[in-house]
Structure 1
Amino acid sequence: MARKIREIMTSSPVCVSPDVDLGQVARRMRDENIGDVLVTEGDTLRGVVTDRDLVVRCMAEGGDPSSTRVGDIASSADVTVGPDDDLGTAVHLMREKSVRRLPVVENGKPVGIVSIGDLAIERDEKSALADISAASPNR
């Protein structure tokens, strides 16, 4: 059983700059089969955007994905974990902050992302959430 974040995190997260439009971000999510991207300026983490954010913070409000910049809707990245943190730290932060994904930062640079699904697979591979998280994507 994994004990550290680095053992279960997705390494090499997809990062975009704050000025990229949401249409490009949505296509990137589709092409990479992911539900989130990290928003960075250089090597500095500025925020996180999920597929749900695209819908709720842009489209549902009448926004235009081709002219809305990802930096305008990104959640702050004030909650992160390090790759050598214990899994319990991620569980605690996810519960406390009501988030499903945490950027993994090392020496100030984003190096991965850990999701609630990653934790479910690791902690109880027979749970419904683990089954869903491990399943092939719907196409």
Structure 2
Amino acid sequence: MKIRDIMTRQVEVVRPDDTIRSAARKMDQFNVGMLPVCDGQTLVGVLTDRDITVRATSAGLAPDQCKVSEVMTAEPRYCYEDDAVIEVTRLMGDLQIRRVPVVDANDRLTGIVALGDLATDAKDDAAVGDALDRISTPSEPDRT
């Protein structure tokens, strides 16, 4: 089974020059915790609700002045439409990530695959369970 078979195709995005307030509103409107950041159709980053909280709010950045590009995760992990579901499942488990943008052969954003897509549509229950287990394992704080 390929990622194209289970991914979500209708994906809301934000631009790097959008404010984090407008991005947060979009997250609220669509009930999502991550938005791909695109310059045109090219994926340039991802913005999570955690990025907004940890990189902007905790630093006291003004939501109407702070741009998405200032707090987004640049160079995000992504996969291709024709990648095998089992490989992307392993990647998500290894990296402890719940969502992965999907691009086509021309590196244009075409969708997103989330843990929920794997849980409801993937056929390898053992692999999905293993990925969920690894994603859910608490990580150590990055502070010393």
- Write the mapping of 1:44-59 to structure 2, written as runs, cut at 5 A: 44-59=42-57
Per-residue CA deviations over 1:95-129 (Å, capped at 9, x if unaligned) read 222222111000210010111222123344xx8x7
Letter of the 2:114 partner, please give it. Answer: S
Partner of 1:112: 111
Give, in angstroms, the shift of residue 71 of structure 1: 0.8
Aligned to 2:120: 121
State the partner residue of 1:92: 90
2:65 to 64, 67, 73: 67
Between the two proteins, what is the percent identity of the paired residues? 39
Count of aligned pairs? 124
The aligned counterpart of 1:16 is 14
The amino acid of 2:25's aligned partner reads: R
Give the distance between the partners of 2:119 and 2:59, measured in 1 at CA. Answer: 33
Contact 2:46/2:76 (8 A) holds in 1? no
Partner of 2:135: none
Query: Once the two structures are superposed, what CA deviation does each residue of 1:28-49 show, in whole Å capped at 9, x if it has no partner?
Result: 1111222111111122110001
Runs of 4+, deviation exceeding 6 Å: none
Tell me, which stretches of 5 or more residues in structure 1 are unaligned?
Answer: 130-139
CA distance in 2, matches of 1:35, 1:79: 16
RMSD of aligned residue pairs (Cα, Å) = 1.7
CA-to-partner distance for each residue in 1:5-60, whole Å, 9 max, x for gaps?
Answer: 12221113111110100000011111122211111112211000111211111112
SS in 1 for 2:24: helix
TM-score with structure 2 setting the length: 0.78
C-alpha separation in 2, matches of 1:117 and 1:60: 29
CA distance in 2, matches of 1:121, 1:53: 27
One-letter amino acid of the structure 2 residue matched with residue 76 of structure 1? A
